[in-house]
Structure 1
Amino acid sequence: MIEPTVDSVTLSPSPTIAPDTPVSEAAQSLRRTDVAALPVVADESIVGIVTESDIVALVAETDERPVVRTIMSSPVTTISPTATLAEAAETMRTVGVKHLPVVADGSYRGLLSARTLAPYLPRHRLEIEWHDDPLCLDSSDGHSLTAGD
């Protein structure tokens, strides 16, 4: 079975911002319901990412109004468009993020979100290794029940 890759799904059309963008401008962009994260791009390369939690942390910690560079998460974990969706989901799980910028040839191509991945991946993945007859159940009292019973 061929696994779907990142480039086979529609990426979130998230706007990008520059590192010197005022945080207030980033906050305004994040208020839009269709924007969950803002990739920070300089010279077509992703240099950071800003999420709502970055803005909340700033507001909770200070009254300052700095530029995005001071609050963005960096370095950013990215994914290639040729990675499988399973690899993307595992990367999100391992790193603990909900958004992965897609980068090809060093240039930002779009944002892959956990919400975008959800319909393509099973909710639970079972890996079962059969050692005996796969249609045989053993009970706690030592009796076996097979498909022929």
Structure 2
Amino acid sequence: MIETTVEAVTTPTARTITPETPVTEAAERLRAPDVSALVVLDSETVVGVVTEGDIVALVAETDERPSVRAIMSAPVTTIPSGATVFEAAERMRSVGVKHLPVVDDGVYRGLVSASSLAPYCSRHNVAVDWADDPLRVDGSGSTGVTAGD
């Protein structure tokens, strides 16, 4: 079985900002329908992620309008492009994030989100153990699919 890698579902053109970007500019960029997060780069190094939730928290907590550095999620959990989508989903679940910057050898490659992984990961893992032969012909000549208890 071939497993889909993160590289196949990465948004390579994900929007980026710097830590010094004004939070109002970040909010404007997040208004675009296709932008769910902004990756914060400092000299080509991923140092944070800003989401709509970060902006909402800022507005709810204060009237200040600081730079992105003050509200970005950091440190950042990243994933290499060669990881599988299931590894990415597990990392998101275990860390409690919905976005992972894709980084190979310290170089930012793009962004993978929970919504981009959704088509590749089922909500529940289903394991079926057959207790008997699943296709059995009974004495009446009819066939039926059965599963043991």
Instruction: State the distance in 1 between where 2:80 and 2:10 align.
Output: 14
Name the Cα RMSD after superposition. Answer: 1.6
Inter-partner Cα distance in structure 1 for 2:133 and 2:34: 47
Is the contact between residue 12 and residue 113 of structure 1 (CA under 8 Å) also seen in structure 2?
A: no
Match of 1:72 in 2: 72
Change (3 A) 1:48 1:126: same
Q: Note if contact 2:30-2:38 (Cα within 8 Å) is conserved in structure 1.
A: yes
The whole-number CA distance in structure 2 between the counterparts of 1:112 and 1:12 is 9
* 2:39–2:49 CA contact under 8 A, matched in 1: yes
- Show the counterpart of 1:20: 20
> Which contiguous aligned blocks of 4+ residues in structure 1 show a shift greater than 6 angstroms?
none
Could you tell me how far apart the structure 1 residues matched to 2:16 and 2:114 are?
Answer: 18
- The C-alpha deviation readout for 1:48-91, integer Å capped at 9, x for no partner, is 00000100000111111100001100001111000001111111
Q: Which moved more, 1:17-26 or 1:86-95?
A: 86-95
Q: Contact conserved, 2:10 with 2:102, CA < 8 A, in 1?
A: no
Aligned CA distance change for structure 1 residues 15 and 22 (closer, same or farther; 3 Å): same
Using the alignment, how far apart are the partners of 1:28 and 1:10 within structure 2? 23
Aligned letter for 2:87?
Answer: E
Q: Does 1:56 align with 2:56?
A: yes
1:29: Cα distance to partner? 0.4
* Count, aligned residues: 138
Amino acid in structure 2 at the alignment position of 1:20: E
Shift of residue 129, structure 1, vs aligned partner: 4.1
TM-score normalized by structure 1?
A: 0.85
Larger deviation: 85-94 or 44-53? Answer: 85-94
Aligned-partner Cα distance in 2 for 1:10–1:17 = 18
Identical columns (%):
62
Aligned runs of 1:1-149 on 2, under 5 Å?
1-11=1-11, 13-130=13-130, 132-135=131-134, 147-149=136-138
Any idea what SS the aligned residue of 1:147 has? Answer: strand
TM-score (ref. length: structure 2): 0.85
Counterparts of 2:51 and 2:123, CA distance in 1:
25
